[in-house]
Chains A and B, each alone.
Chain A
Amino acid sequence: GENVEQHPSTLSVQEGDSAVIKCTYSDSASNYFPWYKQELGKGPQLIIDIRSNVGEKKDQRIAVTLNKTAKHFSLHITETQPEDSAVYFCAAKDSNYQLIWGAGTKLIIKP
């Protein structure tokens, strides 16, 4: 079945710098890759997603890239701000329509 690995587990960046979180997946049939942000005491919330027919998608300061050949996808956050501090999860939708989740990355924005 599908397996998703996420790195790093913790990422600390200076405010204003960029942050990159990477995920790899194992099932070549997976075709949908969402990213969720979880703030303290809240449920995960979708921030951006990408489907396998595109290689990159942007939404203001957030972008996601997908390399189907290498089976990896990444989240890029530019000009980081204090409110970006949270835990970020990647996921891949497998052939059974289930989301398989990465372990999460705790992003810390240093002032």
Chain B
Amino acid sequence: DAGVIQSPRHEVTEMGQEVTLRCKPISGHNSLFWYRQTMMRGLELLIYFNNNVPIDDSGMPEDRFSAKMPNASFSTLKIQPSEPRDSAVYFCASSSHRDGTQYFGPGTRLTVL
């Protein structure tokens, strides 16, 4: 298996623009997690899905952030409108069940100017 796939790997955008990050989990995994990593706040869980259903989105910073999982092999994290403080590395991870080992993708480095 290719592991968790994320795209794009790098994204540079201007404040106010919409940003969409994409994730393909490992085939057969039924839990998917979105994390944000910054030097100041470390690794933060934004939202996680179980069987394509959002279970806990309490980590989503504000309404500008939204996440979807239309099927078992694809998820998106959208920021609209983006702000400079959203600059971070965003990771997607998947696991075979909600209490299993999480496997991380390579991350998307987002820079909002």
Contact = CB atoms under 8 A, between A and B. Distances in A.
B56 interface: yes
B45 A98 contact: yes
Interface string A22-62: 00000000001010100001111110010000000000000
Interface stretch (B11-19, B69-77, B79-87, B97-105): B97-105
A45 to B, nearest CB: 7
Interface residues of A, number: 19
A93 B43 contact: no
Interface of A: 32, 34, 36, 41-46, 49, 89, 93, 96-99, 101, 103-104
A44 B56 CA distance: 21
Contact of B98 (A34, A43, A89, A97): A97
A104 B37 CA distance: 11
Contacts of A46: 101-103
Contacts of A89: 43
B99 A34 contact: no
Contact of B45 (A41, A44, A99): A99
A45 B101 CA distance: 10
A96 B56 contact: yes
A32 B99 contact: yes
A93 B99 contact: yes
A4 to B, nearest CB: 10
Contact of B107 (A43, A93, A99): A43
Contacts of A98: 45, 48, 56
B78 to A, nearest CB: 20
B99 A43 contact: no
6 contacts: A34-B101, A36-B104, A43-B105, A46-B102, A89-B43, A96-B56
Given A43-B104, A101-B43, 19 more contacts: A36-B104, A41-B106, A42-B107, A43-B4, A43-B91, A43-B105, A43-B107, A44-B43, A44-B104, A45-B104, A46-B101, A46-B102, A46-B103, A89-B43, A96-B56, A97-B99, A98-B56, A103-B42, A104-B43
B93 interface: yes
